[in-house]
Amino acid sequence: MPNFSSPAWPIASRIFASLVGGYLFTWGLIAITIAALIPLGIEFHDVEMGMLMLGLLIYLSLFLWGMATDKLIWLWLILFGGGVTMTVLASVLQQSFLQGI
């Protein structure tokens, strides 16, 4: 049983949430934007490249926010919750679009 009251625990949780959660959130955001914009007829590679550029900056901001925020619970909820939701939604959107053509 890990010792949750040791000072190392919150810092480990914070680093994990910021790095991994931030990554997941960014992934979800990139995926959902691509999946949502392609059906609107926007050029595939434009969306992809644009989102990669933005995504890197967004990931950086999320990571810095995660390292600084007081509200660890919110950090976990937003990054993991948001990330998973967007990723799943992106797959759903993709499927409905590809089935519709």
For residue 30, give both structure tokens.
Answer: 């990139």
Give contact residues for another protein (rule: CB under 8 A). Answer: 10-11, 14, 26-27, 30-31, 34-35, 38, 43-46, 48-50, 52-53, 55-57, 59-60, 63-64, 67-68, 70, 87, 90-91, 94, 97-98, 101
C-beta closer to another protein: residue 27 or 80? 27
Q: With contact defined as beta carbons under 8 Å apart, do 28 and 84 qualify?
A: yes
Residues 6+ apart with CB under 8 A from 84: 24, 28
C-beta closer to another protein: residue 28 or 78? 28
Q: With contact defined as beta carbons under 8 Å apart, do 24 and 87 qualify?
A: yes
- Nearest distance in Å: CB 65, another protein: 10
- Nearest distance in Å: CB 78, another protein: 18
For residue 9, give both structure tokens.
Answer: 């625990």
